Structure 1
Amino acid sequence: MFFSVVIPTYNRLPILQKCLRALENQQIPSGSPISGYEIVLVDDGSTDGTLNWLQEEAAEFPHVRSHLQNHQGPAAARNLGVEKASGDTIIFIDSDLVVTENFLQAHAEALTQADSDRVFTYGRVINTCNFDDPTSEPYKVTDFSAAYFATGNVAISRHWLDKAGLFDTRFQLYGWEDLELGVRLKQLGLKLIKCPDAVGYHWHPPFALAQIPNLIDKEIERGRMGVLFYQKHPTWEVRMMVQMTWLHRLLWGILSVNGLLNERTMAPFLQWLIDQNKPQLALELARIFLNWYNVKGVYAAYSQLNNS
């Protein structure tokens, strides 16, 4: 099999450098089912000099094939990546993911050991804020994901993507474009195979209060895209995923005390946790009001849709 690793990127140059170097450092043993691989990087209109840097350092990245598009979001970027890819098997990762040296081999072994062609593999994603040594982070309970199809670390035969119809480019805001494609793949009968040996370390900066306005905006965007997701697939399963149920309104309404626990009232305690070198715990507690914003966002978008 020939792998095409499709990576959309937008203004992520420092961590992208680590991402690409890790992919160039893959160990592929003799007898591997991998005949070769390429890295298809799609720059989604970055303004941080991503492609200029890559041109200057081209000798270090012989596997990289880069493409540029105007800023249209990750769905369009991944579609372009698949269109330009040469491989029969596509691996999707994000540009802030740093993989281990046996990453490609682990995906290949899991795919070849499957008893059916109607499968895809989903690797392990470990969240870290350690920029200097991201792969030193241990696996944590909070790293567990029950997602069926998430593009942070997944390998799939290209023909299934073509059959499903690729990503819906109407998902231009934050969230759901990969899980929506997952619904269509599930309808085709594809089975998820967990591949814990294909490890990627998802880097993000340590949580700080200054990030909160952007995180709130993302939750509101995720609510709006959740309504689009539900429009396409009006099922109870999708309602649960996008938190558009009375259960979620009740849960996050209670936990946030109907919004009384918010970015202003919780700020002193969150800052205290950050000062105690516990930014991850602070972020998990901030999710109380972030999820409340998401639930309110999805219902506001749904109401607007019904009234239009």
Structure 2
Amino acid sequence: MFFSVVIPTYNRKPILEKCLKALEHQVFDQSQIAGYEVVVVDDGSTDETVKWLHSTAEFPHVRLFQQDHKGAAAARNLGVEKAAGDTIIFIDSDLVVTEFFLQAHAEKLLEGARSLGHDRLFTYGRVINTCNFDDPTSEPFKVTDYSQAFFATGNVAIARTWLIQAGLFDTQFQLYGWEDLELGVRLKNLGLQLIKCPDAVGYHWHPPFSLDQIPKLIDQEIQRGKMGVLFYQKHPTWNVRLMIQMTWLHRILWGILSLGGFLNERTMAPLLQWLIDQGKPQLALEVARIFLNWYNVQGVYQAYREMQHS
């Protein structure tokens, strides 16, 4: 198999450099992997990402493509369109992988095909969240890193033919969230099965949580609510309602936990800052999810009301 690692990026030059360096140092069995390329799709960055990539010879596996700022779904579609490989790996540009990353995906893809007797499958690697920029791969796996997503583009390998047959990503998903899980529903309808691949490890870097990130995080939750309703419009099932938190259960749960919205970014700021000052920014972020999820549920129902009246 020949891998095309497709990476959409937007204004992430510092961590993208670490991402691409890790991909240049892959160790693999050439009897299983014929080779690989790294397809970087710049989604209209304004931080000189393109100029930097054009000026460096450090990444011989990289092929760069550009588009206006259209979002991750359109960027991934362009990457698949330009890919030379028969097998696509999607990762994000803030993911730093280990040296056996490609080999782990290849082994599980081959093992899965032998075990199932067919190739209607894809592999999903492990994603470990970290805010350690200097040494991201030193972060241990945590309970909060566990994911039950069926198809998430943070670390997934799949034959290109299945992506084409499913219809690629829906570019209506221009705001934050759900474009990968929506494609996952269509892949599941084609009979594809998920094979977990814990040895294909990627370390997802994000800056340490701070209070000045909260407005952006709230905006993302509201966007995710809007895109969740689009997801539900395409697939009006109970399972999708559960995923996007559009149920009375979620409304009651986060309403109770947030005390009807009383626990919010203003009232919880002192506690969050205290946790950050104690060197526990990740715990502070998890606590902040009390009101972030409340914003998400509110955003879902607001978008749903707007859809019904449109």
TM-score by length of 1: 0.99
Tell me how far apart the structure 1 counterparts of residues 88 and 19 of structure 2 sit (CA, whole Å): 17
In the other structure, the counterpart of 2:188 is 186
SS at match of 2:199: strand
Aligned to 2:200: 198
Alignment of 1:203-218 (within 5 A): 203-218=205-220
Question: Corresponding residue for 2:42?
Answer: 43
One-letter amino acid of the structure 2 residue matched with residue 52 of structure 1: K
CA distance in 1, matches of 2:20, 2:30: 23
Residue type of the partner of 1:300?
Q
- Which position in structure 2 is the counterpart of 1:251? 253
Aligned to 1:265: 267
Shift of 1:30: 4.5
Distance, in Å, in 2 between the alignment partners of 1:303 and 1:222 is: 15
Letter in 1 for 2:9: T
* Structure 1 residue identity aligned to 2:108: A
Report the 3-state secondary structure (helix = DSSP H, G, I; strand = E; otherwise coil) of the residue aligned with 2:264.
Answer: coil
Q: Which of 58, 68, 71 is the matching residue for 1:70?
A: 68
Tell me the equivalent position of 1:135: 137
Superposed displacement of residue 222, structure 1: 0.2
Cα distance in 1 for residues equivalent to 2:163 and 2:28 = 25
Aligned to 2:53: 54
The residue identity in structure 2 corresponding to 1:167 is F
The 3-state SS of whatever aligns with 1:174 is coil
Q: Which of 89, 100, 103 matches 2:101?
A: 103
- What secondary structure is seen at the aligned counterpart in 2 of 1:60? coil
Q: Which amino acid counterpart does residue 188 of structure 1 have in structure 2?
A: L
Number of matched pairs: 306
Aligned match for 2:237, one of 215, 219, 235: 235
1:182 to partner: Cα distance:
0.2
Please tell me the residue identity of whatever aligns with 2:67.
Answer: Q
Any idea what the Cα deviations from partners look like across 1:97-140, whole Å, max 9, x if unmatched?
Answer: 00000000000000011132010000000000000000000000
Q: Percent identity?
A: 78
Q: 1:220 deviation in Å?
A: 0.2
Runs of 4+ with deviation above 4 angstroms: none
- Secondary structure in 2 aligned to 1:3? strand
Q: What is the SS of the residue equivalent to 2:19?
A: helix
* Whole-angstrom CA distance in 2 between matches of 1:30 and 1:225: 41
| Structure 1 residue 24 corresponds to structure 2 residue 24 | yes
How far does the alpha carbon of each residue in 1:65-102 deviate from its partner, in whole angstroms, 9 at most, with x for none?
Answer: 00000000000000000000000000000000000000
For residues 10 and 263 of structure 1, what CA distance do their matches in structure 2 show? 27
Q: SS of the residue aligned with 1:186?
A: helix
Q: Secondary structure at the match of 2:173?
A: coil
Secondary structure (helix, strand or coil) at the match of 2:226 reads: helix
**Matching residue of 1:83:** 81
Counterparts of 1:209 and 1:30 in 2: how far apart (Å)? 48
SS in 1 for 2:36: strand
Gaps of 5+ in 2: none
Alpha-carbon separation, structure 2, partners of 1:222 and 1:28: 38
Task: Tell me the amino acid that sits aligned with residue 2 of structure 1.
Answer: F
User: How far has the Cα of 1:29 moved from its partner?
Assistant: 3.1
1:83 and 1:163 map into 2 onto residues whose CA distance is 13
What is aligned with 2:280?
278
Q: Does 1:13 align with 2:16?
A: no
**Equivalent residue, structure 2, for 1:222:** 224
Partner Cα distance (1:180, 1:147) in 2: 11
Q: Distance in 2 between matches of 1:183 and 1:202?
A: 24
SS at match of 2:93: coil
For 1:181, the aligned partner's letter is L
CA drift of 1:51 comes to 1.1
Amino acid paired to 2:82: K
